[in-house]
Amino acid sequence: MSQDVSQFVAAVRRIPLFQGLNPSQAVSLLKVCDRKSIDAGTVLCQYGDRSEQMYILLSGSLPIRTEDGAQVARIEPVSSVGEMGIFTEEARSATVVASEASSFFVLGKYKRQGVMRQNKEIEVNISRNVIATLAQRLRDANQELNHLRNIVADQGTGEVAAPEIEED
């Protein structure tokens, strides 16, 4: 179990959602996590499904695919997937299928709520991190939107010169 604890504490320190938690707070979260392993090709979560769990990948690799199957990201150890859904209760925005045998910790929404109710410091810290993560995603989306607007504007005003034809 001590290897699980050290892996989890290391994972917590790398996951933005859990930054700032001390080791004893991380262990409080570990106590309500389940450890799970899956084989390559196993669907971890499907686009549109209810978000009731988040996953902290310990080994393996998890491609993230959009509804139409396009890969948009790849989760590598030690990272999380599905964390926003257990706070926002939004449906899954992507499908995650293990590309190789993978193991991870599973933190359920209701277990997370219980830990946060019992420890207000954890609740405040995680809530602050959720807000910061969502704010960063909003900034990133706004930046991408402005970039796309500039591309469209440049295409709308850009003139392409017709090739000159030489006369004999």
Res 97: pLDDT = 94
152: Cα separation from own chain's centroid: 30
Instruction: Mention every residue, 6+ apart, whose C-beta is less than 8 A from residue 60.
Output: 38, 77, 98, 99, 100, 101, 102, 103, 104
pTM > 0.85: yes or no: no
Res 104: pLDDT = 92
| H-helix or E-strand spanning residue 38 | strand 34-38
Tokens of 134: 């969502």
What count of other Cβ atoms lies within 10 Å of the Cβ of residue 163? 6
Per-residue pLDDT of the chain (168 residues; tens, 9 = 90+): 567 677 667 767 777 778 888 888 888 888 898 999 999 999 999 999 999 999 989 899 999 999 999 999 898 888 888 888 888 889 999 999 999 999 998 999 999 889 989 999 998 998 898 888 888 878 988 898 898 888 888 887 655 445 555 555
Res 159: pLDDT = 52
